[in-house]
Chains A and B, each alone.
Chain A
Amino acid sequence: MKAAPAPTGPYGLMAEFDRPDDLVEATRRAYEHGYRMMEAYTPFPVDGLAEALGFRHNRIGAVVLIGGVAGGLGGFFMQWFSAVIHYPVDIGGRPFNSWPAFIPITFEMTVLFAALAAVVGMLGLNGLPRPHHPVFNVPRFALASRNRFFLCLQARDPLFDAEGTFRFLEESQPKAISVVPF
């Protein structure tokens, strides 16, 4: 992470839209224009928006796979180690390595660790929790969780310049444009 720019400047400029399609269109335009440090905010997942931002692959799947494999192997190992190596006890003549009986817990541990990996991975990769964020400084941003769609071009983008970017955003005919202070 680069150091945050001087706290005097704004965080970025934020355009507000009524319809998800307009936001996707504006985002695509900004990306084509060369903007990279930007983020779109919507009240529900909009198809194609992340792709318009140039974001294609999230690594959640891999994280979950790793979690599941670790949980499954760990779960079986735990049972095998304790029943075969650490304290083998003959129960009803069953073999020490009663693998059919170990399957249910192995399965549960696989699911448990995969699910934990999914949630922790999602939060971690998203950089959450983060209750304070500059975008919340815009009063109208409260509508981002209701019915408005926002595009924020950040000041740390090399292409960003307060006036030019403002004009660029205006061309997408947003409902409003606001400065996002730090």
Chain B
Amino acid sequence: MSVSTNMIAEGELRLRLDRFQWWALAAGGLGLFLSLAAWSLWPEQFWPSYLVAYVFWVGLALGCMGLTMLHHLVGGSWGLVVRRPMESGGMTLLPLALLFVPLALGLSQLYPWARPEEVAHDPQLQHKSLYLNVGFYLVRTVGYFVIWLVFASVLNRLSSDQDRRADHRPSGKLQWLSGPGLVLLFLTGTFSAIDWLMSLEPHWSSTIYGCLVIVGEALATLAMMIAVVVFLSADQPMAEATTPDRLNDLGNLMLTFTILWAYMSFMQYLIIWCGNLPEEIPWYLRRTRGGWQWVALALSLFHFFLPFFVLLFRESKRQSRLIVQVAILVLAMHWVDLIWLVVPASSDPASPRIPWVELPLSLVAMLGIGGLCTAFFIGHLKGRPLIPLNDPHLNEVIEHAGGLGQR
């Protein structure tokens, strides 16, 4: 692999990126416009859809940050090709922070604890109002974004610094920062999952919930990064950097997180199923009846079994076409997973139904937020070398790549 070029997207790749960015921007604009229309027409059905799409894209941004810091800590050749896309992915938190503003308007539509008339009749919610109230919720959310944005920009700035320097001081700082950063990210990720998702059903709680959401986000991020890397590697300069070994490494990571996701999901289910307590089991009753059981089955088949069996085999991780198909499947199923987590929340556990009307709404919101984020992501990615040029581990990684395939 040659490191002689400056690795900035040029030529054919640049053209493709420009085109994609334009389409994404157009899709985002259209999606947001339609979302606005949907909101005015069906406000109650719209907010859960918007929340699903919003958490999907925030999750990807957080996953990018987390995996970047993980790579700074443990190294490994897998991170080399995805570091820059991940850094840019972290920066999409900037538009996402703005996109939270409409959500803040719809809190009372989403959360039972934000509806004073409901709280008045519910002693449980009155007890919990110390934590679950609109003001504190917004303060916490602002706090998460401040922390995330500070970390995202520091990660980017130091990484860009490194490109221009011969010594490894920025890399050292990055490594130093990543330990505490990861701890902080894990905590804020957990609490944002509790605030945004778990409190949709304020009577229910599960200690693994934060972990479960974070693992799902990391898995989706890996899938997205595989798709991005394969997209980029169709042209120079990334074509040379993306070897089957790299895809293999990323595929292995995706396999690991697929297993972790299935493990945590199943453990939560098993414990609550065995316990069968009235304050816990309704959460699953809502999600395993009235059509939702088929969604749950689809999740276990296509969020776990199918990717698991495909990724189990070495050869399938080394073919870019196949692994991209798996990655897109995982991304789609992550979206279905979020729908499964969010949408049934407001239903009656005795007779939940799949509200099919929300499906197009959800697609519209996905398009709007996703288009905007993607456009921002590409814009950020275009301006920088696609590979961290002066990373101290770069040489090591290149050397290692030769030996990897033989094991």
A-side residues, CB < 8 A to B, are 47-48, 100-101, 103-104
Contact = CB atoms under 8 A, between A and B. Distances in A.
B266 A47 contact: no
A103 B266 contact: yes
B406 A100 contact: no
13 contacts: A47-B406, A48-B406, A100-B266, A100-B269, A100-B270, A100-B273, A100-B274, A101-B270, A101-B273, A101-B274, A103-B266, A103-B270, A104-B270
Interface of B: 266, 269-270, 273-274, 406
Nearest to B312: A65
Q: Counting chain B CB atoms within 10 Å of each CB, which of A47, A48, A100 scores highest?
A: A100
Chain A at the B interface: mostly helix, strand, loop or mixed? helix
Contacts of A47: 406
A65 B382 CA distance: 45
A90 to B, nearest CB: 14
**6 tightest Cβ-Cβ pairs between the two chains A and B:** A47-B406, A100-B273, A100-B270, A100-B269, A101-B274, A103-B266
A175 B327 CA distance: 53
Nearest to A104: B270
A51 to B, nearest CB: 10
Nearest to A65: B312
Contacts of A104: 270
A124 B273 CA distance: 43
Chain B at the A interface: mostly helix, strand, loop or mixed? helix
Given A101-B270, A101-B273, A101-B274, 9 more contacts: A47-B406, A48-B406, A100-B269, A100-B270, A100-B273, A100-B274, A103-B266, A103-B270, A104-B270
Contacts of B270: 100-101, 103-104
B329 to A, nearest CB: 23
Nearest to A93: B276
Contacts of B269: 100
A96 to B, nearest CB: 15
Q: Counting chain A CB atoms within 10 Å of each CB, which of B269, B273, B406 scores highest?
A: B273
Contacts of A103: 266, 270
A100 B267 CA distance: 10
A144 B405 CA distance: 27
Contacts of B266: 100, 103
A48 B405 CA distance: 12
A101 B274 CA distance: 8
Contacts of A100: 266, 269-270, 273-274
A140 to B, nearest CB: 29
A100 B266 CA distance: 8
A89 B406 CA distance: 53
Contacts of B273: 100-101
A104 B274 CA distance: 13
B281 to A, nearest CB: 12
Nearest to B266: A103
Nearest to B314: A61
Contacts of A48: 406
B402 to A, nearest CB: 11
B88 to A, nearest CB: 38
A20 B118 CA distance: 77
Contacts of B406: 47-48
A104 B270 CA distance: 10
A100 B300 CA distance: 13
A103 B271 CA distance: 12
Contacts of B274: 100-101
A47 B406 CA distance: 7
B38 to A, nearest CB: 38
Nearest to B403: A47
A48 B406 CA distance: 9
A90 B274 CA distance: 14
A47 B404 CA distance: 12
B278 to A, nearest CB: 14
A20 to B, nearest CB: 13
A103 B266 CA distance: 9
Nearest to B407: A47
Nearest to B272: A100
A101 B273 CA distance: 9
Nearest to B273: A100
A61 B17 CA distance: 42
A101 B271 CA distance: 10
B103 to A, nearest CB: 35
Nearest to A61: B313
Nearest to B313: A61
B190 to A, nearest CB: 25
A104 B406 CA distance: 34
A102 B266 CA distance: 12
A3 B270 CA distance: 59
Nearest to A48: B406
A59 to B, nearest CB: 15
B64 to A, nearest CB: 32
A156 to B, nearest CB: 32
A23 to B, nearest CB: 17
A50 to B, nearest CB: 12
A163 B13 CA distance: 64
A103 B269 CA distance: 12
B283 to A, nearest CB: 15
Nearest to A92: B276
